[in-house]
Chain A
C-alpha cells in the first residue's frame, strides 16, 4: 500500500511538536469561532488568514484546516445551548439539539454532537486518503480545456444546486469574475478596470480583501441588525457518568452515523452543495429510516448525530477537489486555496508530485485535528457555556479591529482597507436582498484560472472554439455544466406552469 507509506511520511510532519501545537491552537480557535452565533468556518478562516504569516506555509495551512475543522465541531454548541445555529452548517442540529437542551439533556446533546462529529470526520478522512492520490493522477492529464470546463462546471452547480435565486446566482458569479479581471491582463500585460486610474487597482483585487469584507465586516453588520436581544444560554454540566452514558447511546447509532458520513463526504465534494445541504439531507434520511421517527424534532439524540456526522464529513469532502484539482468546493476551501497561492504553492495535481511532504502533512493533520477537536470540545464545554454569555458587542468590536488591521497587513495599503469597508457594506446589502455570497468569492478566486485556461486553449487551437468539446473529458464536463445550468429554468418553467398562483416553497439556503 503506497498510500500508507505516504501517510506515514505525512505523520512525520504533522506529529512534530510544533505542528501538533498548531493543530491544538487551530481547533480551539475554530471551536470558539464556530460556537459564536453568526460566525462559522468561513468567517473564521477569513479573519484569521492574515495572521497566519507568523508561521511557515505548511504550518499555516494546517492551522487553517484545523480552524475549519474546529468550527465544524463548534457550530453545534450554540445550536444546542442557544437554539441559534453557530454556523449555517449547524442548522439541522438545532432541530433536535435544542429540544434536548430544554429537557435538561444539554450535556448529552453536546457529547452526541462531538462524538458524531468525530465519527463523521474520521470516516471521511479515511475516504479522503483513499481518493486523493487516484483523483490527482486523473487530474494530471488535464489540459487548459479541461480546467476551463471544470471551473465552468463548478459555477453551474451553484446555479443548478445552490438553491438560491438563479438570476442572482448568475449575477454574483459574473460579478466575481469581472472583479477578478481588475489589474494587469495576464496575457497582454495591459491594465484593465483600474477605475479612475487608481494605483491600488493595478495589483488587482485580492480574494482576501473580498473575503474579509463580506465574511468579516459584512457578517458583523448583518449580525448587529438581526441580534436585537441577547439569547438565553442553557447551562450544561458534564460528568464522567454522563460521558459514559453518552458514549453508550452513541454506540447504538452506528448505522445513522456511517450513512451520514458517506453521504456528507460525497455531497461535500460537489461545489455549491457542501455541509449545510449534506446535514439537512442526513437529518431527513435518519428521520425516515429511524425506528423512533415520531420523536424527531422533540429531542431525539439520533437527530443530533445525523447532521453532525454529515457536516463534518462534508467539510473534509470539500477539501478533496480543492487539493487534487485546484477547484474549491466551498467558500472556505476557496479561501484555503487563495491562501496557498499567496504562500507560493500551486494547488492541483502537481502539488502531489512536487510537494508530497506538504500534501501528506496536511492530510495526516486532518487525523490529528479530529482527535484534538473531540478532546478539546468535550473538555471545554464549561468554557463554551461561559463564552456564549460574553456580550456580543465585545466580540463585534474585536472582529472589526481584526478586519481592519488584518486587511491592512498583507498588502500594507490603506486602499485595501477601504475596499474591505466597501465590500463589507455592499456584501451586507446584497445578502439582505438574497444574493448568495459564496459564488462571488469562488468566482473571484477561480476567475484568473478560468480566463487563463479559456484564452490559452483558444491560442493553442488557433481560435477554434470547438476545442472545448473535441476532448472527451472536457466535453463531458461542459455537457454536465449545461445540464446544471438549464435545470433550474426547466424546473421553474414546469412548477411555474403548474402553480402560478401558489406560494413556492423555499429550498434551504447555503451561505
Chain B
C-alpha cells in the first residue's frame, strides 16, 4: 500500500512540475485564432493527473490491492545492482567510449552477477561489440561515441568508410 501512495505522490509532484512549465505559454482560450493556446494541452492534462493522483492517495485501501504492491525483498539487492550498472555504463559511454563501457557491462553482468563460466562470459563479451560494430558502424554508418578510445578506431574507419 505504501508503494502505491509514494508513486501517486511522485506523480503529483511531476504533474505540478509540468504545470509550472506549461503556464509559460498561454493556457486559456486564445481569442484571436479561436481555440486554446499552446500551453493548454499540457496544462490541463497535468491537472487531470494531479487530481487523479490525489484521489489515489486518499481513497480507502482496497483489500485486493494490499498484497500486490510488495517487492520481493530478496531480489531488491540484485535489482538495484543491475540498475546502477546500467547507469554507470551509460555514463561511461561518452567518455570511455561505447566499446569500453558495453564489454565492461557484459562482463560484469555475465561473470560477476550471473556467475557464468569464463568461456561463456568472455565469448559474449568479445563477440557482442564486434557484432555491434559491423551492424551499426560498418553497415548503417551510425557512429557510436568512442570518447578517449577514438584514435584506436582510425584504422578501422579507413578500412570501412
A residues with a Cβ closer than 8 A to B are 51, 53-54, 167-168, 170-171, 174-175, 177-178, 181-182, 185, 187-188, 190, 192-195, 217, 221, 224-226, 228, 391, 393-394, 396-398, 400-401, 404-405, 408-409, 412, 414, 417-418, 421, 424-425, 429-430, 432-435, 451, 454-455, 457-459, 461-464, 503-504, 506
Residues of B within 8 A of A193 (CB): 18, 21-22, 42
Q: How far is the CA of A493 from the CA of B120 in the complex (A)?
A: 57
Residues of A within 8 A of B90 (CB): 404, 414, 417-418, 421
Q: Chain B interface mostly helix, strand, loop or mixed?
A: helix
B46 touches A225 (CB 8 A): no
B residues with a Cβ closer than 8 A to A are 3-4, 7-8, 11, 15, 17-18, 21-22, 24-25, 29, 31, 33-39, 41-42, 45-46, 48-49, 52-53, 55-56, 59, 62-65, 68-69, 71-72, 74-76, 78-79, 82-83, 86-87, 89-90, 93-94, 98, 102, 105-106, 109-110, 113-114, 116, 120, 124, 128, 132, 135-136, 139-140, 142-145
Pairs A–B under 8 Å by Cβ, sample size 22? A170-B48, A177-B45, A178-B42, A181-B42, A192-B21, A192-B25, A193-B22, A193-B42, A194-B21, A224-B78, A225-B72, A228-B75, A400-B105, A405-B98, A405-B102, A417-B93, A432-B69, A433-B8, A433-B69, A435-B7, A459-B34, A464-B34
Residues of A within 8 A of B53 (CB): 171
B145 touches A414 (CB 8 A): yes
Residues of A within 8 A of B64 (CB): 503-504, 506
Q: How far is the CA of A190 from the CA of B145 in the complex (A)?
A: 31
Q: Chain A interface mostly helix, strand, loop or mixed?
A: helix
| Beyond A432-B71, A433-B8, 16 additional pairs, beta carbon < 8 A | A53-B142, A167-B52, A167-B59, A171-B49, A178-B18, A181-B41, A192-B24, A193-B21, A225-B71, A393-B116, A394-B120, A394-B124, A397-B109, A412-B143, A417-B93, A435-B7
The answer to whether A455 and B36 touch (CB under 8 A), given A193-B22, A417-B93, is yes
8 tightest A-B CB contacts, nearest first: A458-B35, A463-B34, A393-B114, A185-B38, A174-B45, A178-B45, A181-B42, A397-B109
Residues of B within 8 A of A433 (CB): 3-4, 7-8, 69
A394 touches B132 (CB 8 A): no
B7 touches A409 (CB 8 A): no
Q: How far is the CA of A462 from the CA of B25 in the complex (A)?
A: 21
Residues of B within 8 A of A504 (CB): 62, 64
A174 touches B34 (CB 8 A): no
The answer to whether A192 and B39 touch (CB under 8 A), given A171-B53, A393-B109, A418-B90, is yes
Nearest CB in chain A: distance from B39 CB, A:
7
**CB < 8 Å neighbour of B110 from A185, A226, A394, A459:** A394
Q: How far is the CA of A503 from the CA of B65 in the complex (A)?
A: 10
A221 touches B79 (CB 8 A): yes
Residues of B within 8 A of A167 (CB): 52, 55-56, 59
The answer to whether A54 and B139 touch (CB under 8 A), given A168-B56, A414-B93, A455-B36, is yes
A225 touches B63 (CB 8 A): no
Residues of A within 8 A of B106 (CB): 397, 401
Residues of B within 8 A of A408 (CB): 93, 98, 142, 144-145
A409 touches B29 (CB 8 A): no
Q: How far is the CA of A437 from the CA of B91 in the complex (A)?
A: 27
Which residue among A393, A457, A459, A506 has the maximum number of chain B CB atoms within 10 Å of its CB?
A: A393
Q: How far is the CA of A412 from the CA of B83 in the complex (A)?
A: 22
Nearest CB in chain B: distance from A274 CB, A:
22
Residues of B within 8 A of A226 (CB): 72, 75
How many cross-chain pairs have Cβ atoms below 8 Å apart between A and B?
Answer: 185
**CB < 8 Å neighbour of B3 from A393, A394, A432:** A432
Residues of A within 8 A of B3 (CB): 432-433
**CB < 8 Å neighbour of B52 from A170, A192, A195:** A170
B41 touches A451 (CB 8 A): yes
Residues of B within 8 A of A192 (CB): 21-22, 24-25, 38-39, 42
Closest B residue to A194 by beta carbon equals: B21
Nearest CB in chain A: distance from B145 CB, A:
7
Which residue among A192, A195, A401, A434 has the maximum number of chain B CB atoms within 10 Å of its CB?
A: A401
Residues of A within 8 A of B124 (CB): 394, 397-398
B46 touches A178 (CB 8 A): yes
B34 touches A458 (CB 8 A): yes
Q: How far is the CA of A404 from the CA of B159 in the complex (A)?
A: 26
Residues of A within 8 A of B24 (CB): 192
The answer to whether A434 and B86 touch (CB under 8 A), given A185-B38, A192-B21, is no
Residues of A within 8 A of B71 (CB): 225, 432
A463 touches B114 (CB 8 A): no
Q: How far is the CA of A225 from the CA of B7 in the complex (A)?
A: 18
B52 touches A404 (CB 8 A): no
Nearest CB in chain B: distance from A486 CB, A:
15
Residues of B within 8 A of A225 (CB): 71-72, 75-76, 79
Q: How far is the CA of A190 from the CA of B48 in the complex (A)?
A: 23
Closest A residue to B11 by beta carbon equals: A171
B11 touches A396 (CB 8 A): no
Q: How far is the CA of A234 from the CA of B127 in the complex (A)?
A: 30
Q: How far is the CA of A182 from the CA of B33 in the complex (A)?
A: 22
Q: How far is the CA of A400 from the CA of B110 in the complex (A)?
A: 12
A190 touches B42 (CB 8 A): no
Q: How far is the CA of A185 from the CA of B36 in the complex (A)?
A: 12
Residues of A within 8 A of B8 (CB): 433
Nearest CB in chain A: distance from B18 CB, A:
6
Closest B residue to A462 by beta carbon equals: B34
Q: How far is the CA of A425 from the CA of B79 in the complex (A)?
A: 11
Nearest CB in chain B: distance from A509 CB, A:
11
Nearest CB in chain B: distance from A401 CB, A:
6
Q: How far is the CA of A457 from the CA of B33 in the complex (A)?
A: 11
